[in-house]
Amino acid sequence: MAKPQTITQKILAAHTDKDYVEPGELIMARVDIALGNDITAPLAIKEFKRVGAHKVFDRSRVVLVCDHFAPNKDIPSAIQCQQLRHFAKEQDLTHFYDGGDMGVEHALLPEKGIVGPGDVVIGADSHTCTYGALGAFATGVGSTDLAAVMVTGECWFKVPDSIRFVYHGRLPLWITGKDLILHTIGDIGVDGARGMAMEFTGEAIDWLPMADRLSMANMAVEAGAKNGIIAPDQLTLDYVKERALRPFKQYASDPDAAYLFERAYDVSQLEPQVACPPSPGNVVPVSKVGDVPIDQAVIGSCTNGRIDDLRLAAKILKGHKVAKGVRLIVIPATPLVWRQAMDEGLTAIFLDAGAVIGPPTCGPCLGGHMGILAPGETAIATTNRNFTGRMGHTKSKVYLSSPAVAAASAVTGRISSPKDL
């Protein structure tokens, strides 16, 4: 009789020659997709060439995206993107995204159907765990690991223990997947899932749209997790089937699978959540934040730059103006999201409110460009990290929230709940 396994164990086992893998076991697994961006891929390309490799293991499975410092902000960033262009052309890569075809990588790949359920995905970016929302095993690696995978198509992993997070109840008005994951990280801390798999389940997850599920998996790494994952259901399949470029296989945890521990939450009374500086784990309900004036609000990123996020922000901003002295920056995560926002009239709402709308880019999230903070400035952002200096000067501060809270705060000029409007 087969030993019971979690969804994470099953996916990893399926990518080895084993029927079962044990938590803590070191394995070599086949990789379906290997991802790099303009910051991390240049070093991987250098190592690829240094070891004497000539061809990537599969030109359709190595994906390069210029998104962090693109459109290029200076000469060094221009050189980084140039290196990706040359390598993509040399290797005849199927999936290279630049210019008007470029989007924030972790929004772009699901949208393009490049990742599917049951995949093993590595990316030289910590938020690669986003794809767990599709039922894939996805995790971030270093640039040298990416180089090795580009050569061999395989990567070593330590099979993680799994933690089960069960969310009960119906979500109140204005509560999103971002609030669920912030609340969870606030509960277990930024190292509460270190090196483990965070498995999200429960009726509240069943009701979540795909954008919210992607937000939750995206921030699993902020609790130290190796991956975050949600077992595919009909909503997942509906999303994937119209996009998938390859056949896929869905997995689910066995009913008697072993978990390191389990957390259960009743979300029916949950307030909007805010992560206060300097950590994604420093989370309080918005009503407990206090009187915090802001200089900037950012709506976008691989966490909350999808069309659902922009619709939510526009719903709150419609008929309102951004508070005097506040800069509201809206960044649709992909060209498709930008077009949808334009076609639906969302961009008009943002412009009427006094927002700046940027091209798809990671931009301000990592303190890259198009929204850097000066000393003493405070921002509220739908991004995923608020460490000291993350969005600019070390004497600036960043608060993390959902698009609903960020939009409401832009109107009032201080961190606010949508209910305050």
**CB–CB of 237/251 below 8 Å?**
no
Q: Residue 2: what pLDDT?
A: 82
Of the candidates 166, 290, 276, the residue with the CA atom closest to the CA atom of residue 231: 166
Residues 328 and 414 placed together within one structural domain of the fold: yes
Of the candidates 334, 108, 166, 133, the residue with the CA atom closest to the CA atom of residue 235: 133
Residue found by looking up tokens 């509960």 in the block: 187
Chosen domain end from 223, 244, 270? 270
Cα torsion angle, 346, 303, 243, 255, sign? negative
Residues 201 and 92 placed together within one structural domain of the fold: yes
> pLDDT tens-digit profile of 10-65?
999 999 989 999 999 999 999 999 999 999 999 999 999 999 999 999 999 999 99
> How many angstroms separate the CA atoms of 135 and 414, rounded?
38
Omega prior to 71 cis, within 30 of 0 = yes
Of the candidates 401, 377, 411, the residue with the CA atom closest to the CA atom of residue 183: 401
Give CB contacts under 8 A, 24+ apart, made by 364-367: 364/298, 364/300, 364/329, 364/331, 364/391, 365/298, 365/300, 365/301, 365/302, 365/391, 366/68, 366/390, 366/391, 367/391, 367/392
Residues 183 and 252 placed together within one structural domain of the fold: yes
Residues 251 and 346 placed together within one structural domain of the fold: no
> pLDDT tens-digit profile of 385-418?
999 999 999 999 999 999 999 999 999 999 999 9
Chosen domain end from 270, 297, 332? 270
Domains: count for the chain:
2
Residues 255 and 290 placed together within one structural domain of the fold: no
Residues 141 and 196 placed together within one structural domain of the fold: yes
> How many angstroms separate the CA atoms of 120 and 159, rounded?
12
Give the max Cα distance, the chain.
67
The partner residues of 166 in beta bridges, in order of sequence, read 201, 264
Burial class of residue 75 (count of CB atoms within 10 Å of its CB; 0-12, 13-18, 19+): exposed
Q: Is the pLDDT assigned to residue 80 strictly greater than 80?
A: yes
What is the domain range of residue 325? Answer: 273-420
Chosen domain end from 270, 297, 329? 270
> pLDDT tens-digit profile of 338-388?
999 999 999 999 999 999 999 999 999 999 999 999 999 999 999 999 999
Q: Is the pLDDT assigned to residue 1 strictly greater than 80?
A: no
Residue 146's H or E segment, with its range, is helix 143-152
> pLDDT tens-digit profile of 249-307?
999 999 999 999 999 999 999 999 999 999 999 999 999 999 999 999 999 999 999 99
> How many angstroms separate the CA atoms of 386 and 381, rounded?
9
Domain with residue 122: its CATH number is 3.30.499.10
> How many angstroms separate the CA atoms of 41 and 147, rounded?
8
> How many angstroms separate the CA atoms of 93 and 75, rounded?
25
Of the candidates 195, 192, 210, the residue with the CA atom closest to the CA atom of residue 135: 210
Query: pLDDT band for position 215 (50/70/90)?
Result: very high
